[in-house]
Structure 1
Amino acid sequence: MAEQAQYEELIRQFSAFGAVKREMGRIMPSDCPSGSAAVLTLLGRHGDMRMSKLAELLAVDMSVTSRHVAHVAERGWIDRSPDPADKRSRILRLTAAGEARLAEMSRLTCRMLAERLGDWSEDEVTQLTALMARLRASFDDCRVPHASHPALPSDTEPRPPTAPVLEQTPRTPAITK
C-alpha cells in the first residue's frame, strides 16, 4: 500500500492534468468548446445513442448535456432524429461535418501530444495511457457503492481501491469536459 507522502505527492501532480487540459483547450477550434468536443468524441467512439446515454457517458446532468447537444446541432455536427422505439426520445448521430470536425480535433491533439511527448518511448506512452485508464476506472467504480468498495470510515487513512481490469480502448485522444 502506498504511504501518505506518496498520496500527497500524487495530489500535487494532479495539478498537471489541469495544465494539460488547458493547453489542449487552447489548440481547439474556437467554435468547439470542451463540452462540444466531448459530445463529438463520445459519438465518434460509441456511435449513435440517446441523449440519456450521452449524459451518462459525460457524467453530467441532462440539462448540461442538452446544452452541449444544442451547440453541436446548431453547427450541423450532429443529427437528432426520433428514436423508432420511443418517439419522445432522440437518437444522436454524427454528421459528415461532425466527423470532419472530430478528425480535425484529433489531428490537432495528436500533433500537440507528439510534440510534447516526443522524447517519451512508445512503452512510456502506453504505460501512461494504461495508468490513466486505471485511475479513471477506479473513480468510476467509486460512483456506485457496493460490497467490494465500502465507504471508508472518517477515522481511517486513505486506501487505494483494488486494481480493476483494464479494457482496451481505441487510440482516439480523449477530449473531455
Structure 2
Amino acid sequence: MAEQAQYEELIQQFGAFSAVKRELARILPADCPSGSAAVLTLLGRYGDMRMSKLAELLAVDMSVTSRHVAHLADRGWIDRSPDPADKRSRIVHLTAAGIARLEELSERTTQLLAERLADWSDEEVAQLTRLMTRLRASFDDCRPVPPRLPPPGAALETTTRTPAST
C-alpha cells in the first residue's frame, strides 16, 4: 500500500484533471456545452438508451439529464421516442445531425490532445489510458466504503447526562 505522502501528492495532481477539463471545455462550440457533449458521447458509445440509463451514466439527477436532452433535441441532434416496453419512458437516440456534431467534437478533442501530448510516446499515452481506466473502475466498483474517521485532533464527545425518561 502506498505511503500517505504518495496519496497526498496524488491529491495534488488531481488538480491537473480540472485544468485538462477546462481546456477541453474551451474548445467546445458555444451551442454545445460540456453536459451536452457528454450526452452525445455516451449515445455515440453505447447507442440508444432510456433517459434513466443516461442519467445513471452521467451520474446526475434526472432533471439535469432532461435539461441536457431538451437542449440537444432543440438543436436536432437527438430524438426522443416512447419506450415500447414502457410508454412512460423515453428512448434517446442520435440523429444524423447529432452524429455529425459528435464527429466534429471528437475531431476537436483529438486534435487538442494530439497537440498537448505531442512529446509523449505512444506507450506513455497507452499507459495513462490504462491507469485512468483502472482509477475510474476503482471508484465505480461496489467496494464497501470504509467508515469516515474523525478529523485529526477532533476530541470524541462524551456526555455525562442521564437519558430522559418519559
Look up the equivalent residue of 1:36 and give its one-letter code.
Answer: S
| Distance in 2 between residues matched to 1:120 and 1:8, nearest whole Å | 25
- RMSD across aligned C-alpha pairs, in angstroms? 1.2
Q: Shift in Å at residue 4 of structure 1?
A: 0.3
What SS is found at the alignment partner of 1:80? Answer: strand
Look up the equivalent residue of 2:144 and give its one-letter code.
Answer: P
| Distance in 2 between residues matched to 1:69 and 1:33, nearest whole Å | 12
| Distance in 2 between residues matched to 1:69 and 1:150, nearest whole Å | 33
| Distance in 1 between residues matched to 2:97 and 2:148, nearest whole Å | 50
Residues 66-105 of structure 1 show CA distances to partners (whole Å, capped at 9, x for unaligned) of 1111110100000001111111111100000000000000
Residue pairs, 1:135-150, within 5 angstroms: 135-141=135-141, 144=142, 149-150=143-144
Look up the equivalent residue of 1:124 and give its one-letter code.
Answer: E
Q: Whose Rg is larger?
A: 2
Aligned length: 150
Look up the equivalent residue of 2:145 and give its one-letter code.
Answer: A
1:50 counterpart = 2:50: yes
Residues 120-161 of structure 1 show CA distances to partners (whole Å, capped at 9, x for unaligned) of 0111101101111111111112xx4xxxx33324449xxxxx
Find the counterpart in structure 2 of residue 104 from structure 1.
104
Matched residues, percent identical? 78
Find the counterpart in structure 1 of residue 12 from structure 2.
12
In structure 1, the gaps of 5 or more residues are: 157-177
Moved over 3 A (4+): 153-156
Find the counterpart in structure 2 of residue 131 from structure 1.
131
Look up the equivalent residue of 2:50 and give its one-letter code.
Answer: R
TM-score (norm 1): 0.82
Residue pairs, 1:15-164, within 5 angstroms: 15-141=15-141, 144=142, 149-155=143-149
Find the counterpart in structure 2 of residue 166 from structure 1.
none
Higher relative contact order (CA 8 A, sep 6+): 1
In structure 2, the gaps of 5 or more residues are: 151-166
TM-score (norm 2): 0.87
What SS is found at the alignment partner of 1:13? Answer: helix
